[in-house]
Structure 1
Amino acid sequence: MLIQGLPPLKKPVSLLEETGFFNVRRKIMLKKICFKHLYSGLTLGLVILLHATVLFAGNVTLAWDPPTTNEDGTPLTDLAGFIIYYGTTSGDYSQSIDVGNVTTYQVSNLTEGLTYYFAATAYDTSGNESEYSYPEAVATMAPPPPPSPEITVTDSVAPTGDLQIPFGNVTEGSSSNQTVTVTSDGNAELVIGYIAQNNPLSAPFSILNDYCSGQTLSPSSNCTLTVRFSPTATGLFNDSFDIPSSDSDENPVTVSVNGTGEAIPVPDITVTDSVAPTADLQIPFGDLTEWLSRDRVVTIANDGSADLAIGYIAQNNPLSAPFSILNDYCSGQTLTPSSNCTLTVRFSPTIAGLFNDSFDIPSNDSDENPVTISVSGTGLPADSNNPPAIPELIFPADNQEGLGTTIEFKWKESTDPDEDTVTYDLYACEDKDLTIGCITATDIAFRWSEGISYASIGSYGTWLLFFGMGILPVLLGVTRNRRKIALLIAVITIATVFLVSCGGGGGGGTGDSSGGTTSDSFNGVSQVVSGFSVDTAYHWKIVAKDSYGGETESEIWSFITAE
């Protein structure tokens, strides 16, 4: 911005340039006029502030110091205000503004490219006005900027101006749309070319509703187009497209797009049971004496991403005696993802023989409908004792090497057809006949009561425990010599606890106060045995026994201790 036409002044002029703006302050004398009061010392200065608008209008801020005395030197007490006069011809002011009693004022809506002349007068409370200030101030407005198109591209996903459109996760087979807006932010028309012509989008992205290609936008107008993401498969997808235009410094504008295709939500049924292996869709009940019952729990889980609707179980393929279903909490239910339900299958043979059957679990899982569960069991005569099932060894594995001198043996629980209590004998010897260098643990029990496993009690410990807890309280109530009876009970109880804590009977002792224990991970029995020699080969087996003399023996496995 230029300040022109200022005549030479007697005092120095201070010129301060600040960020393209000029601040000029001058001492201006008022001519003598025939008013009641004459003012002197009026100072008129200029601070020119310009900014471009569509109409190319500018602003000029005028600043001055008010007079303090009359022309005759007496104090000025009734100053009322000032009037600013201006025009495009020196000395011929076509516009005036009564600005009141202020010392700065901004004159607005000046046309850029023209030169303006400014003067000021003062007036008092009686309406008397002085002559124009002298010399007049001159301001030349800067010319308007040359016409230039300017493109701005935004989209409907925040942040809107980053030229990126993330669609996020979209299920395959469905679509997601986002809107792109092209705006003309310049002062000249913006010509838009054909969008995505030189850098087209590929599936699963596409452009539709294109109201921009080949269009000419006037300043401040805009147009829109739609970008669609329609995945037909799962996975991450990326692409980009160009928007050409007449904006010389942003041609073309490139917009990036990305999205992830997700699988269609589907239910997925998983059926397990309480007999290992749990997911083989088979429930072997084993041997069971007639007129007894054995239950197994079936769990139905929804491992999919959509609701699983379960039909009525065993309706089209029902179970026949001696099998039955009870406690059915699944039929007709809808399971949300990750939830489950249970039902119970019972085997109750009334005669001896082998029995097999199956039942269906219908659901809306399209690739597993229905799920068929096979059940089997053998009924044994009730007129004789039936031995426990053969124990299945787990650890140490057959021919395993590098074991320590203290080993935790593990095997599966043996069921008893007569539902008798089962105990176990463990034999670990240095020969295959299990006669040399043996370490044994006998009468290992598998019985739970409130989370406590009673193991390795032995036959004597068992009799002492039951005698102390059952028979002696009766004697205590009928015997007069209660002190002796109480002492006997204490001795028997201590001996019983000692036998329980000592664990493995027989030759080897276990060194483990817990004796045989169950494990949720393998549904079996374990027994810790110590005292094995280093770098020695051993052979071991388990004998399962019921309380009526029935016995079964496991296979014989071998292992070698470390050096």
Structure 2
Amino acid sequence: MKNFIYLSIIGLLFTACGSGGGDDPVAPANTAPTVPALASPADNKLCLDNTVVFQWNQSSDTEKDAVVYQIQVAKDNGFTQIVSNLDATSNLTNTATLDKNTAYYWRVKATDAKGLASAYTATYKFYTAGVAVVNHLPFAPALTQPLINSVLTGTSATLGWTASDVDTADVLSYDVYFGTANPPTVKVSDNITGLSTTVAVEPTKQCFWRVVVKDNKGGETIGQVWKFKTN
């Protein structure tokens, strides 16, 4: 009887000591690199040479993974007209020859060796100079409110944007188009100088709107279509 008790105790000890021996260590979670910071060309810059050198600052990675960068250059701030798309470069600079007398937009993101990417940087815009150009077109407007695909409550909505022009002395005005058709065709504001306008909305609708930016020398730039919903 005593031998049986001793054997039982020894068996329990072996079981207890071996219960966790086969567990694998938990690998630390991977985190994305930090968002790079754009350096040059600066936002709203007029580039006198159409061969443009793009520069950005290095991202950091918590796990010390190798980091590569993707740089996109486009003719619109929605990046549907991309003219240069460089993937997986470890450099912090890239050179592209672009059209003269044209507005461009650029951004960069970082990706680590495990494939996890940061968000894109904020979009910077610049203009390439033309030959004997007297006036440059305004840059495309940028959205401030409401956010794309947001859902609004109420009977009215405030539409907001920002805009700029490399010709800093130019006076800008705005036409706003709004409706439930895409693209919107109803002009709800004409030649306004403020950066917002309020429109009436109906419930359970998909709404579309865009802004046309005009300078006082006859130049104009049509913005992309933005959208939101009402409930």
TM-score, normalization: structure 1? 0.21
Question: What TM-score does the superposition give when structure 2 sets the normalisation length?
Answer: 0.46
Q: With CA pairs under 8 Å and 6+ residues apart, which has the higher RCO, 1 or 2?
A: 2
